[in-house]
Amino acid sequence: MSTVHATAALLPEPALLRAHLRALAVLDGAIGDDPRSTRYRFDAGWGPGQEAALMENGSGDEFSVLFTPAGVLIRGFDHESQMSPHATDDERVWPGVIDDVPSALRPLLDEPAFHDEGLGTPRVTACLWRETGDTAWRTGPDIGFPSGSPDPDGSGHLFRLLTDRSPEAVQAHFEDHYERPVPLEAVRHVLAGHPLTPETARALNPAALSDEALLGRIAAHPEVASYLVCDGEFDPDRTDPIESITLPAGLPAEPVAGCGAGGTHYLCGPAAPDGARPVLYTDSEGRASLIAESLAEALTLFIALPSWHDALAGFRPPALNADYLEDNPDHPAVRDRLLAALRLPPATDAEVLSRLLTTAARTVPDGFLPSVRDEEDSAFEPMLRLPAE
């Protein structure tokens, strides 16, 4: 029989559990086509000093894991369980399930989100907790589980990915849920706590970060479009460059956006379904540089590092981006909001700067420094400059 008692013995330390739940939320958001329909979510601002990991399977089953200064409370609800308040004659929580929850954590069960209208008790069939400083997970010690079910309180299926945290188990879950392959290495990457890069996000769901999908989200989101035009210098309506260009390797270069200063962004290479194409930028003064390995990476650059031109000119932190942040102190919040709207992974200035410089350095050796079409000796100058000593 699978019950909370078995679950308690298999759960990791709270810090590891928190990291795993965050990873599940990241994976679900990256793999799914609609972030609003994900099963796993993580809310870092659930309440003052509180974080919440939430799971809803869309069929009435759910759990919440609340992380607070006083400890951690896990509430699970199996809507078909005989232990559900809806299945009991008095519509009360099954005896013993929450009777021993310590007073420091008990108020967490009063959260309105965990109550049904007209029902004076929380939706709960399984409950575990661990106070700060405790050395083990606790449950009600004297629960009389109903007979006839191998999973009477629902803990076996509700917490399956919390007790078996292997990449293989997580991969199998998401493949079954989304009915398509999910690459194991990408799952391992996220579960290990590594940042969700555009490359990993694309591996988890190629269609979500395709050029077409990203341009569609820009068009559908006024705040994103306005920011990109003004601060990101990326206007998808400007696709008529001042001069036609050609690349040394003969790769096609498709104008995808321009800016008010006369610059143009190009997608380089043949278009392919869900395939990433490097992004080349040319300015109006005869300079050019690769700036990203994909449109997703380029949009992340424009949003996270609006002073990327200065980075190519040799500026580095703390001077880099300093003036922009002084004029736009709310930029970190705007950055996170816009990246989320485009379904792009979170990114730090350091990560974005490192990717930019690595990509820009291959402009010349890899054959991406353009020339003006049908003009001799018309090669552009590389934009990348090393910092002054």
Which of these, 321, 216, 203, 302, lies nearest to 259 by C-alpha position? 302
Q: How far apart are CA 370 and CA 286, in angstroms?
A: 10
Element (H, E) at 257: strand 253-258
Q: Among positive and negative, which fits the CA dihedral 175, 181, 184, 189?
A: negative
Half-sphere exposure of 365 (CA within 13 A, CB side): 6
On whether the CB atoms of residues 301 and 356 are closer than 8 A, the answer is yes
3-state SS assignment for residue 135: coil
Q: What is the pLDDT of residue 14?
A: 98
Which residues sit opposite 289 in a β-bridge?
Answer: 281
Q: Which amino acid is at 341?
A: A
What are the DSSP calls for 12-63, one per residue? --HHHHHHHHHHHHHHHHHHSS-GGG-SEEEEEEEETTEEEEEEE-SSS-EE
3-state SS assignment for residue 383: coil
3-state secondary structure 99-110: CCCCCCCHHHHH
Orientation of helix 295-304 relative to helix 331-341, angle to 10°: 160
On whether the CB atoms of residues 144 and 96 are closer than 8 A, the answer is yes
Which of these, 291, 295, 280, 309, lies nearest to 342 by C-alpha position? 295
Integer angstrom CA distances of residue 354 from 161, 292, 317, 332, 345: 34, 11, 12, 18, 16
Q: What is the pLDDT of residue 34?
A: 78
Q: How far apart are CA 131 and CA 68, in angstroms?
A: 9
Q: How far apart are CA 374 and CA 335, in angstroms?
A: 41
Q: How far apart are CA 292 and CA 269, in angstroms?
A: 13
Q: What is the pLDDT of residue 388?
A: 54
Q: How far apart are CA 345 and CA 338, in angstroms?
A: 10
Q: How far apart are CA 151 and CA 230, in angstroms?
A: 56
C-beta atoms surrounding 82 within 10 Å: 16
Q: What are the pLDDT tens digits along the chain (389 aa)?
A: 799 999 999 999 999 999 999 999 999 999 998 777 899 999 999 999 999 999 999 999 999 999 999 999 999 999 999 999 988 888 899 999 999 999 999 999 999 999 988 778 999 999 999 999 999 999 999 999 999 899 999 999 999 999 999 999 999 999 999 999 999 999 999 999 998 888 899 899 988 889 999 999 999 999 999 999 999 999 999 999 988 999 997 899 999 999 988 999 999 999 876 678 999 999 999 999 999 999 999 999 999 999 999 999 999 999 998 999 999 999 999 999 999 899 898 888 999 999 999 999 999 999 999 999 888 888 999 999 876 54
Collect all residues with Cβ–Cβ distance below 8 Å to 286 and sequence separation of at least 6: 380, 381
Q: What is the pLDDT of residue 375?
A: 85
Q: How far apart are CA 56 and CA 49, in angstroms?
A: 23
C-beta atoms surrounding 322 within 10 Å: 13
Q: What tokens appear for 334 in the block?
A: 């705007």
Integer angstrom CA distances of residue 197 from 59, 216, 343, 355: 32, 21, 12, 11
Orientation of helix 167-178 relative to helix 184-191, angle to 10°: 120
Quick one: residue 308, left, alpha or beta (phi over 0 = left, psi -120 to 50 = alpha)? alpha
* Helix intervals (H) in the chain: 4-10, 14-31, 155-158, 160-163, 167-178, 184-191, 198-204, 211-220, 222-230, 295-304, 308-312, 322-327, 331-341, 349-360
